[in-house]
């Protein structure tokens, strides 16, 4: 019975990961051949969270938490801003680099010597939830534009990443931050895997 349960969990997780799609929407990747360093920037333009706009989501969270406890909403806002600025990007970069390391390529935010920049724009986040007896997996959609350092206004290639899953529904985190961070881990891993499968840098 235990083995059957473990098999079921594995299959559910595999199906969810497979639902994630990384698609080259526009452009060709020949310009990345022999590149060993990439810069990355993160944006959240026109992002929706669940069924609402990003701003309405933040306003509602701050208001509700401040009603429950004075100052709690303001503390939540600081943490949310840190998640967007630091936590989510760091998870993306770490997992991209782990995956792509066999190709001797490194992604970073502060490498001004890199010839090309990945602009990762998150346009949708489903935060999910976990209340013990019920849970919903987080997911995110992103668009990745690749531009050159010398001409950042010209998009050389565009990827869409849809339904990037957060942490597992079985034992998923009670923290929305951790759940959403999982979306960035999976998106980065799949994007790096795409590059490797196409032998982009070789």
Each residue's pLDDT tens digit, 63-118 = 999 999 999 999 999 999 999 999 999 999 999 999 999 999 999 999 999 999 99
Q: Residue 172: what pLDDT?
A: 58
Mean local confidence (pLDDT), 112-130: 95
Q: Residue 80: what pLDDT?
A: 98
What H or E segment, with its residue span, contains residue 118?
strand 116-126
Choose among 81, 96, 180, 190: nearest CA to 139.
Answer: 180
Report the SS3 class of residue 195. Answer: helix
Backbone phi, psi, residue 56, to 5°: -65, -40
Give the domain ranges of the chain: 2-197
Q: How far is C-alpha 118 from the geometric centre of its chain's CA atoms?
A: 13
Helices (H) and strands (E) in the chain, counts: 5, 10
Confidence of residue 131 (pLDDT cuts 50, 70, 90): confident
In contact, 13 and 168? CB cutoff 8 Å = yes
Q: In this structure, which topology does domain 2-197 adopt according to CATH?
A: Double Stranded RNA Binding Domain (3.30.160)
Question: What are the beta bridge partners of residue 143?
Answer: 121, 160
Confidence of residue 19 (pLDDT cuts 50, 70, 90): low
pTM, two decimal places: 0.89
- Taking the chain, what is the end-to-end CA distance rounded to the nearest angstrom? 46
Report the SS3 class of residue 42. Answer: strand
In contact, 26 and 155? CB cutoff 8 Å = yes
């Amino acid at each position: 019975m235990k083995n059957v349960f473990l098999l079921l969990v594995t299959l559910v997780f595999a199906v969810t990961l497979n639902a994630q799609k990384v698609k080259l929407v526009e452009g060709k990747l020949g310009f990345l051949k022999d590149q060993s360093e990439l810069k990355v920037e993160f944006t959240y333009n026109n992002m929706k969270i669940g069924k609402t706009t990003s701003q309405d989501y933040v306003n509602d969270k701050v208001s509700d938490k401040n009603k429950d406890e004075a100052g709690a909403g303001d503390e939540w806002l600081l943490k949310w801003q840190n998640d967007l600025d630091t936590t989510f990007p760091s998870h993306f970069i770490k997992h991209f680099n782990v995956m792509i390391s066999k190709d001797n390529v490194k992604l970073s935010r502060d490498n001004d010597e890199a010839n090309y920049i990945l602009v990762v724009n998150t346009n949708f986040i489903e935060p999910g939830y976990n209340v013990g007896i019920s849970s919903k997996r987080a997911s995110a959609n992103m668009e990745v534009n690749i531009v050159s350092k010398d001409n950042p206004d010209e998009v050389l290639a565009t990827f869409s990443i849809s339904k990037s899953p957060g942490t597992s529904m079985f034992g998923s985190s009670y923290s929305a931050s951790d759940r959403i961070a999982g979306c960035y881990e999976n998106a980065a891993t799949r994007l790096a895997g795409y590059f490797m499968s196409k032998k982009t840098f070789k």
